[in-house]
């Protein structure tokens, strides 16, 4: 279900963002809904990712609604589908629900095939507004930075965690960067581009070692 809202752009922030009771309620809501979940192949509570995304959204110009959407960006996909989206709208308002909706690539359990979901999401991003794109980019940057950190520790075995494997995962993040760059670039998108380039470079180097090219 896609909530229809007029497209807009993220305005430059002129004053400090004040995070009030709504943000605190959103944090507790997200912590409760994701309480049984951890990050891929780890014991790290999933709320750590949501906090990281919210932090990036605030760092790169988002306001309270966008930070709330960052905390809740996976709650529809992982915790209830369309009924959960409606609950988000009731609790936190239509603007938050619109952004969460725009960051969601699956509303059903089981989810559609991985490649199908990712191709559909890439097409969706073409029409997404600036606020949704910022939260989505923050999500992807946090993900890639986590992959890079784990890659340095466990190496090529990291790709077994992902449905797309090495080639599919690299394709997806490369495609995301290309799509984000179709609109006006900013510091967040540049950070994402650099992180994806580093991930691709590490993968190329590992492939060269495994094939004997570096001997």
Burial of 150 (0-12, 13-18, 19+ CB in 10 A): middle
In a domain, 5, yes or no: no
Q: What is the pLDDT of residue 111?
A: 87
In a domain, 87, yes or no: yes
In a domain, 149, yes or no: yes
Q: What is the pLDDT of residue 205?
A: 81
In a domain, 15, yes or no: no
Q: How many structural domains does the chain have?
A: 1
Q: What is the pLDDT of residue 2?
A: 44
User: How distant, in Å, are the alpha carbons of 26, 79, 84, 150, 210 from that of 33?
Assistant: 10, 7, 10, 25, 42
Q: What is the pLDDT of residue 9?
A: 44
In a domain, 10, yes or no: no
Q: Report which of 107, 102, 106, 98 is spatially closest to residue 128, judged by C-alpha positions.
A: 102
pTM: 0.89
- 128's CB contacts (< 8 A; 6+ apart) are 7, 102, 136
User: Per-residue pLDDT tens for 7-31?
Assistant: 444 545 567 888 999 999 999 999 9
**Measured distance CA(41)–CA(150) in Å, rounded:** 10
Q: What is the pLDDT of residue 184?
A: 79
CB-CB contact of 103 with 132 (8 Å): yes
* Structural domain span for residue 108: 21-211
In a domain, 159, yes or no: yes
- Ranges of residues in the chain with a pLDDT under 70 are 1-14, 208-215
Q: What is the pLDDT of residue 27?
A: 98
Q: What is the pLDDT of residue 3?
A: 44
In a domain, 43, yes or no: yes
**Measured distance CA(180)–CA(113) in Å, rounded:** 23
In a domain, 6, yes or no: no
> Domain containing 136 — which CATH number?
1.10.3210.10
**Measured distance CA(215)–CA(208) in Å, rounded:** 9
């Amino acid at each position: 279900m896609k909530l229809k809202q007029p497209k807009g752009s993220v305005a430059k922030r002129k004053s400090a963002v004040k995070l009030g009771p709504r943000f605190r309620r959103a944090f507790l809501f997200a912590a409760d809904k994701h309480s049984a979940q951890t990050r891929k192949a780890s014991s790290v509570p999933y709320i750590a990712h949501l906090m990281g995304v919210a932090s990036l959204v605030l760092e790169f110009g988002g306001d309270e609604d966008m930070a709330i959407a960052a905390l809740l960006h996976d709650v529809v996909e992982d915790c209830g589908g369309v009924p959960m989206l409606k609950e988000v709208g009731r609790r936190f308002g239509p603007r938050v629900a619109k952004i969460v909706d725009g960051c969601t690539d699956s509303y059903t359990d089981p989810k559609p095939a991985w490649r199908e979901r990712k191709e559909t999401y890439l097409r969706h991003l073409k029409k997404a507004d600036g606020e949704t794109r910022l939260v989505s980019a923050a999500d992807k940057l946090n993900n890639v930075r986590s992959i890079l950190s784990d890659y340095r520790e466990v190496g090529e075995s990291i790709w077994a965690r992902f449905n797309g494997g090495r080639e599919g995962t690299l394709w997806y993040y490369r495609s995301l960067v290309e799509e984000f760059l179709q609109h006006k670039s900013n510091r967040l998108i540049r950070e994402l581009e650099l992180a994806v380039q580093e991930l691709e470079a590490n993968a190329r180097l590992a492939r060269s070692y495994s094939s004997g090219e570096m001997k």
